[in-house]
Amino acid sequence: MSGVQVTEQTIKELCDVAQLAVEIAKRAGADDAEVLVRDGSELTAKIRLGEPELVQEAGSRGLGLRVLKDGKRAVTYTSDLRREALEALCAETVTLAGYAERDEFSEPPDPSLLAKSFPELDLYDPKVAEVDAAWALKQAIAGEAAARNHDKRVTNSEGATWSRVLGATAFATSGGFVGGYRGSYASFVVEPLCDDTTDSANPKKRNGYWWTASRFLAELEAAEAVGIEAARRTVATLGSRKVDTQECAIVFDPEVSRSIVGTIFSVANGSSFWRKSSYLVGKEGEVIASPLVTIVDDPLIPRAPGSRPFDGDGLPTRKNSVVDKGVLQPVLCDVYSARKLGRESTGSAGRGIGGNPGPTTSNLVMQAGTMKRDALIRDTKRGLYVTSLMGFGFNPITGDFSRGAVGFWIENGELTFPVSEVTIAANFDEILKRIDAVADDLELRSSTAAPTFRVSHMTLAGTSK
Amino acid sequence: MATHCYSAAMTTTLPAALRAPFSTGGANAIDAALANKLLGLALASGGDYADIYFEFRVSADYALEEEQIRTLGRGITLGLGVRVTKGDATGYAYCEDLAWEKMAHAAKTAGQIAIGGGHAPVNVGQLTDVPKPSFYAVPTPSLVVPTQDKLALLRAADKAARAFDTRIVKVEASFAESIREVLLFTSDGRMASDVQPMLRFGVRAVAEDGGKRQSGSGGGGGRYGLDYFADAKRDAAAHGREAARVAIAMLDARDAPAGEMPVVLGPGDSGILLHEAVGHGLEADFNRKETSNYTGQIGKIVASSLCTVVDDATIVSSRGAMNVDDEGYAGQCNTLIENGVLVGYMHDRLSAKHYGIKPTGNGRRESFRSMPLPRMTNTSLLGGKDNPEDIIKSVKRGIYAKRFSGGQVNISNGDFLFSLTESYLIEDGKLTAPLKGVNLIGNGPEVLRRVDMLGSDFELSDGIWTCGKDGQSVPVNVGTPTVRIASITVGGTQA
Shortest CA distance from B204: residue in chain A: A277
Query: Do B417 and A404 make contact, defined as CB atoms within 8 angstroms?
Result: yes
Of the candidates A351, A262, A446, A249, the one whose C-alpha atom is nearest the C-alpha of residue A36 is A351
The answer to whether A60 contacts B96, with C-beta atoms less than 8 Å apart, is yes
Partners of residue B405 in chain A, C-beta under 8 Å: 392
pLDDT of residue B3: 29
Q: Which domains does chain A have, with CATH numbers?
A: 8-234 (3.30.2290.10), 240-465 (no CATH)
> How many Å apart are CA B422 and CA B269, to the nearest integer?
11
Q: Do A207 and B411 touch (CB under 8 A)?
A: yes
Report d(CA B220, CA B234) in Å as an integer: 8
The reported pLDDT for the residue numbered B6 is: 34
Nearest chain B Cα distance for residue A461, angstroms: 5
Let me know if B290 is exposed, middle or buried by CB neighbors in 10 A (0-12, 13-18, 19+): middle
Q: What is the pLDDT of residue B411?
A: 86
Predicted confidence (pLDDT) per residue in B426-438, tens digit? 999 999 999 998 8
Q: What is the pLDDT of residues A321-361, one digit of tens each?
A: 999 999 999 999 999 999 999 999 999 999 999 899 999 99
Give pLDDT, residue B7: 34
Total Cβ atoms within 10 A of residue B200? 21
Query: Which residues of chain A make contact with B438, given a CB cutoff of 8 A?
Result: 393, 402, 425
A276 contacts in B (CB within 8 Å)?
170, 206, 213
Cross-chain CB nearest to B73 (options A76, A245, A394) = A76
- Asked if A100's CB is within 8 angstroms of B72's CB, the reply is yes
Contact B262, B398 (CB under 8 A): yes
**How many angstroms separate the CA of residue B440 from the nearest CA in chain A?**
8
Phi, psi of B493, deg, nearest 5: -110, -10
Distance CA B492, CA A426 (A): 8
Query: Between helices B236-250 and B147-164, what is the axis angle to 10°?
Result: 30
Which residue intervals of A164-299 are DSSP H helices? Answer: 223-235, 254-267, 270-274
* Model confidence band, residue B116 (pLDDT cutoffs 50, 70, 90): low
- C-beta atoms of B492 and A420 within 8 A: no
| Region A158-164 average pLDDT | 97
pLDDT tens across B387-416, in order?
999 999 999 999 999 998 888 888 888 888
Q: What residues in A contact B94, CB-CB < 8 Å?
A: 58, 60
Residues of chain A found within 8 Å of residue B437, distances taken between Cβ atoms: 393-395, 398, 400, 402
Residue B117 pLDDT class (50, 70, 90 cuts): low
Distance of CA A67 to the CA centre of its chain: 28
**Is residue B11 scored above 50 in pLDDT?**
no
| pLDDT at position A1 | 40
Q: State whether B72 and A207 contact (CB < 8 Å).
A: no
Q: Inspect the interface and report whether the beta carbons of B293 and A205 lie closer than 8 Å.
A: yes
- Which chain B residues are closer than 8 Å to A58 by Cβ? 92-95, 106, 109, 369
Residue range A9-38: mean pLDDT, rounded: 97
Mean pLDDT of A295-314: 98
Q: How many of the other CB atoms lie within 10 Å of CB of B81?
A: 26
B contacts of A406 (beta carbons < 8 Å): 415
- 8-state DSSP, B140: S
Chains A & B: contacts with CB separation below 8 Å: 240
Q: How far is the C-alpha of B465 from the C-alpha of B173, rounded, in Å?
A: 17
B244: left (phi over 0), alpha (psi -120 to 50) or beta: alpha
Q: How far apart are CA B324 and CA B328, in angstroms?
A: 6
Name the average pLDDT for chain B.
Answer: 92
Share of chain A above pLDDT 70, in %: 99
ipTM of this predicted structure = 0.92
8 A C-beta contact, residue B22 and residue B98: yes
Task: Return the amino acid letter for B376.
Answer: M
B435 contacts on A by Cβ (under 8 Å): none
What is the rounded CA–CA span in Å between residue A319 and residue A297?
6
Q: How far apart are CA B438 and CA A401, in angstroms?
A: 8
Q: What's the confidence (pLDDT) of residue B128? A: 84
Check CB contact under 8 Å for A80 and B76.
Answer: yes
Model confidence at A400: pLDDT above 80: yes
The end-to-end CA distance of chain B, in Å, is: 71
Helix A133-150 to helix A223-235 angle (10° resolution) is 40
- Interface contact A403-B439, CB threshold 8 A: yes
- Separation CA B488–CA A307 (nearest Å): 44
pLDDT score of A127: 97
Position with higher pLDDT, B117 vs A167: A167
Q: How far apart are CA A367 and CA A381, in angstroms?
A: 25
Chain A nearest CA to B50, separation (Å): 14
Chain A residue with minimal CA distance to B89? Answer: A53
- Can you say whether residue A349 is alpha, beta or left, with left for phi > 0 and alpha for psi between -120 and 50 degrees? beta
Chain A nearest C-alpha distance from B97 (Å): 8
**Residue B414: closest C-alpha in chain A:** A204
CB B320 within 8 A of CB B479: no
Predicted confidence (pLDDT) per residue in A251-289, tens digit: 999 999 999 999 999 999 999 999 999 999 999 999 999
Report the run of H or E that residue A93 belongs to, with start and end.
helix A83-97
Question: Is B9 a residue whose pLDDT tops 50?
Answer: no
pLDDT in tens, A407-423: 999 999 999 999 999 99
In percent, how much of chain B has pLDDT > 70?
A: 97
CA distance B133 to chain A (A): 32
- From the list B336, B316, B360, B287, the residue with the least C-alpha distance to B477 is B316
- Is the pLDDT at B302 greater than 80? The verdict is yes
Question: pLDDT tens, B43-80?
Answer: 999 999 999 999 999 999 999 999 999 989 999 999 99
pLDDT at B8 over 50: no
pLDDT average, residue stretch A74-86: 93
Q: What is the mean pLDDT of residues B255-266?
A: 95
* Average pLDDT over every residue of B367-378: 96
Q: What is the set of domains in chain B, with CATH numbers?
A: 11-250 (3.30.2290.10), 258-491 (no CATH)
H/E/C letters for each residue in A120-171? CCCCCCHHHHHCCHHHHHHHHHHHHHHHHHHCCCEEEEEEEEEEEEEEEEEE
Where residue A3 falls among pLDDT bands split at 50, 70, 90? low
B91·A61 Cβ contact <8 A: no
Tell me the percentage of chain A whose pLDDT exceeds 90: 95
Q: What does chain A come to in residues?
A: 465
Q: Do B92 and A58 touch (CB under 8 A)?
A: yes
pLDDT of B13 over the 80 cut: no
Q: What is the DSSP string of B362-376?
A: -EE-SSTTS--EE--
Distance of alpha carbon B316 from the chain centroid: 14
Interface test with A, best of B22, B59, B65, B96 (most A CBs within 10 A): B96
Stated length of chain B: 495
Residue B214 with chain A: CB contacts under 8 Å: 397-398
CB A64 within 8 A of CB A17: no
- The per-residue pLDDT for A199 is 87
